[in-house]
Amino acid sequence: MTENFDADLHLHSSHSIGVSPRMSIPNMAQAAKKKGLDILGTGDATQPDWLEHLRNNLIPESGCFRYEDIWFILTTEIEDENSVHHLVLLPDFDAVRHLIRLVKPHSPNVEDEWGGRPRANLNAERLAGMVRDVGGLIGPAHAFTPFRSIFRQGQNETLQECYGSEAGNIKFLELGLSADTILADHIPELRSLTFITSSDAHSPSPDKIGREFLRLEIEKPSYHELSLALSRRQGRKPVANFGLNPRLGKYYLSFCPSCRRTLVLVEDSTFSRYDDLNIYMPCNSPDEQKRIVEDIAKREVTCPVDGKPIRLGVRDRAMAIGETKSVSPSHRPLYHHIPPLLDLVADALGIKSRSSKKVRSLYSKLRERFGDEIEILMKTNPALIEEINPDVSRMIDCFRKDNIEYQAGGGGRYGKLIGPWME
């Protein structure tokens, strides 16, 4: 008999550059409980010190690994010779050991202290073949981001270009924080794949772990059940994606790579202008938008501030390589746009810093009263939340009713929620 389990499969350890030293299995498990998750990816499983940490902290059980009541799948992220990042899922420690042995002759850092996200001087086809040989699964990580992704500007336009003869063995694609199923389903080739949503967390903070996750219908947490679900076989399947509205992601809009101003297309305008954050360009029809995107792809649109060519963001890159209309296949589950509770609290209070004492205190009060984040964001009665803070209650109510505005992100800057009373 199958049940639903919520999984965040892409995280990193303290042995990846730019990751918090607090990223340990106990801290990751604690964050998962706060969020309401059941399954986490370990991240960085090929790094020797982290691998030892995993062996010392995880209990093998029924084809999976457990720490207290949180389940773990062995995962890593590998960068290929074209700087494309791939998410790798592995069944057991033997598979990890075999993959290290295969990759090591081609990797300058797979066993380094900071080699949690190793680089392999291999093309994606050879890397995917190695993963398949050890019984693992591989797919594109954060597939549309402007940096180190399969579909970034100037890189591949199809799975076949990237994975060659292994393209038919790719079962999943990770959307990334600035994309959702509607954006990705502009590309017909991707409609046969399972889309996964995961956090790529670099910190155990509640606004990082589980900010995106996948709901799976499986019998129990195990690598075998997960592989069945990602392949949509024997009744196992994803039943929902949960993640940021793409406009909250930091690479949604196209942007200037030098000054990081984002490109905003404006209707009913006849002239371009800019301010400290954005470049505003007139665009009064879908055809005109398509032409602008094509010109950006050709590096023919430049920043009015410093003259640098504008770089395609996630939205525009998906449009550039896909069809005008997004068509989702019948197997595609619903994508629920859901922000981290900590972000929602901060935006409701008008406080920029997520580490503010006021924000953290209110977040803790909500969790102590109502339970995990998913319960609070999706189910708790707003009238009860109002007893703790009216602005947060209003923001949650507006978010659930899709009566909310977004200041779109781009150029490395996250977007933000704007309640209707804040305009």
Tell me, yes or no, whether 46 lies in a domain: yes
Tell me, yes or no, whether 82 lies in a domain: yes
Gap between the Cα atoms of 138 and 173, Å rounded = 9
DSSP code per residue over 282-347: E--SHHHHHHHHHHHHTT--B-TTT-PBPB--HHHHHHHHS-SS----TTPPEEEE---HHHHHHH
Cβ-Cβ contacts under 8 Å for 402 (sequence gap 6 or more): none
Say whether both 92 and 55 belong to one domain: yes
Domain with 274 in it: 262-312
β-pairing, 262-266 with 172-174?
A: unpaired
For the beta carbon of residue 119, count every other beta carbon within 10 angstroms.
18
Looking at residue 174, the DSSP 8-state letter turns out to be E
Say whether both 234 and 363 belong to one domain: no
CA torsion sign for 128, 131, 135, 137 is negative
> What is the CATH classification number for the domain harbouring 130?
3.20.20.140
Say whether both 75 and 192 belong to one domain: yes
Say whether both 212 and 294 belong to one domain: no
The mean pLDDT values, 10 residues at a time, for the chain of 423 residues are 97 96 98 96 98 98 95 99 98 98 97 95 99 99 95 94 98 96 96 98 94 98 98 98 95 96 87 90 90 94 95 94 93 95 93 92 96 93 95 92 91 89 67
Element (H, E) at 160: helix 159-163
Q: What is the model's pLDDT at position 286?
A: 86
Q: What is the model's pLDDT at position 383?
A: 95
Beta carbons of 133 and 139 less than 8 angstroms apart: no
Say whether both 81 and 137 belong to one domain: yes
Tell me, yes or no, whether 326 lies in a domain: no
Beta carbons of 15 and 49 less than 8 angstroms apart: yes
**Encoded amino acid at 274, one letter:** Y
* Digit-coded pLDDT (tens) for 74-88: 999 999 999 999 999
Q: What is the model's pLDDT at position 423?
A: 59
Tell me, yes or no, whether 418 lies in a domain: no
Say whether both 284 and 240 belong to one domain: no
Say whether both 28 and 85 belong to one domain: yes
Q: What is the model's pLDDT at position 206?
A: 83
Q: What is the model's pLDDT at position 413?
A: 94
Tell me, yes or no, whether 412 lies in a domain: no
Tell me, yes or no, whether 410 lies in a domain: no
Three-class DSSP category at 126: helix
Gap between the Cα atoms of 329 and 241, Å rounded = 15
Element (H, E) at 74: strand 70-79
Q: What is the model's pLDDT at position 419?
A: 79
Say whether both 218 and 150 belong to one domain: yes
Tell me, yes or no, whether 422 lies in a domain: no
β-pairing, 273-274 with 262-266?
A: unpaired
Q: pTM for the whole thing?
A: 0.94
Say whether both 277 and 176 belong to one domain: no
Beta carbons of 88 and 136 less than 8 angstroms apart: yes
* Digit-coded pLDDT (tens) for 124-167: 999 999 999 999 999 999 999 999 999 999 899 999 999 999 99
Q: What is the model's pLDDT at position 269?
A: 73
Say whether both 173 and 63 belong to one domain: yes
Name the residue among 196, 192, 148, 155 with its Cα closest to residue 175.
Answer: 196
Look at the chain and report how many structural domains it folds into: 3
Kindly list the distances between the CA atom of residue 104 and the CA atoms of 15, 48, 96, 119, 364, in Å, as whole numbers in the listed order: 17, 12, 12, 10, 44
DSSP code per residue over 265-286: EETT--S-EE-SSEEEEE--SH
Tell me, yes or no, whether 327 lies in a domain: no
Say whether both 354 and 297 belong to one domain: no
Q: What is the model's pLDDT at position 21?
A: 96
Say whether both 240 and 202 belong to one domain: yes
